[in-house]
Amino acid sequence: MSGPGPLAGLRILEVGHILAGPYATMLLADLGARVTKVEPPGGDLSRQVSDAYFASLNRGKRSVRLDLATPEGQERLHELVRDADALLVNLKPSAVRRYGLAYEALRPWNERLVCVALTGWGMDAGDEPAFDYVVQAATGIAALTGEPGGPPLLPGYSSADNSAGLTAALGLLAQVVSGRGGQIDVCLRDVMLSQLNYHAAAWLNDGKAPRRLGGAHAYYVPAQLFPTADGHLALFITHDGFWRSFAAEAGVEGYATMAERAARREEVIAAVTKALAADTAMRWEARLRPLGVPAAAVRTLPEALADTPEAVVEAGGHRLVGSPFRVAGYEPVYGPPPELGEHGDHV
């Protein structure tokens, strides 16, 4: 039998829209927190995308509809704040201030409230548009992605929004654990720069600018996608032991050390590409994994979900990917996404 979630009893308010903020609070709801969406009269914009889209970011939450531009909406907000542990806001800085959603504005109603502002560029940087793809372009992510000599590319999913949501959830919990109220600022730009860690360090310390390598790793060789007789294979050789096992199975000679493989990158890639052409991606995966070599055939999302049925859950009639957290003794209860204003309508 499942026990209470690790965040049972934690009461969180969310004033957010679309992805980053709602994703952060959904992860917390999956862990047992009670999350209440404070939605504007027209609701979270993601309700206009599709029911499944909204459910994928808002399962298990409550919804209160408030017009924060009115005195009545502000009064109800302050009532909710009195009983809350944290508030996560995913709006432009001017809107955070205009609606009184920062800690200093809400402190009179709850001194222990943890306030998280999740913005594009930071609370002091203005209201310039900061959607996921814009931030990826501005922080160097797009410039790193794609083939050498080709145009910059973007990942096929919202990496900046999702990463910022995870970071905001971590910052919220850190301040809650401290036992003190206060303001936490998280912005998409800083999150993505942080995730460029070793690339940034190489430039800042050694003057080495990252190159576009077609998805290949900057340091490890071979560590990239390779074509095979059928399909593509991801191979990630990070040390000499992996290389010895792979080379013996694939019939590749030489290049025994990491330093040699890095120095002779083009030769290594050519040799590995020739060897892998002898079999299919799925067969190479089956041959290499028992040897401990990190390798995987490239799958489509439908294929990946078919391979991991345990990751799929049901919430309010929607089939969704469940929580990434596995907590001993706790099985999440995936509630349905809320109807707009289902738990309070004060418009």
Domain range holding 280? 223-227+232-297
Q: Do 24 and 165 have their domain in common?
A: yes
237 and 182 within one domain = no
Dist. CA 218–CA 143, nearest whole Å: 14
110 and 164 in a single domain? The answer is yes
Q: How many other β-carbons are positioned within 10 Å of the β-carbon of residue 172?
A: 26
pTM assigned to the model = 0.94
Residues 257 and 328 in one domain: no
* Residue 291 domain-assigned (yes or no): yes
CB 232 within 8 A of CB 212: no
Name the percent of the chain lying above pLDDT 90.
97
Structure confidence by residue, pLDDT tens digits, 147-191? 999 999 999 999 999 999 999 999 999 999 999 999 999 999 999
Tell me which residue has tokens 């039998």: 1
How many separate domains does the chain show?
Answer: 2
Q: Are both 133 and 174 inside the same structural domain?
A: yes
272 with 252: CB under 8 angstroms?
yes
63 and 121 in a common domain: yes
Backbone angles phi, psi at 289, to 5 degrees: -60, -40
CA-to-CA separations, 331 to 26, 71, 313, in angstroms, rounded: 15, 41, 11
**CA-CA distance, 225 to 278, in Å (whole number)?**
16
In this predicted structure, what is the pLDDT of residue 123?
A: 97
Q: What is the pLDDT of residue 223?
A: 98
Residues 293 and 321 occupy one common structural domain: no
Secondary structure tally for the chain: helices H, strands E: 15, 12
d(CA 269, CA 49): 43
Domain finish residue from 297, 323, 338 = 297
pLDDT single digits (tens) 59-102: 999 999 999 999 999 999 999 999 999 999 999 999 999 999 99
In a domain, 306, yes or no: no
Same domain, 323 and 248: no
Task: Give the chain's mean pLDDT.
Answer: 96
Could you tell me the CATH number of the domain that includes residue 332?
Answer: 3.40.50.10540
**Catalytic residue list contains 124:** no
Residue 175, Cβ density class (10 Å: 0-12 exposed, 13-18 middle, ≥19 buried): buried
Instruction: Determine the pLDDT at residue 26.
Output: 98
In a domain, 133, yes or no: yes
Claim to verify: residue 74 and residue 26 sit in the same structural domain: yes
105 located within any domain:
yes
Identified catalytic residue from 51, 161, 190, 307: 161
258 and 135 in a common domain: no
Average pLDDT over residues 3-17: 95
Cα 324 to chain center, whole Å? 11
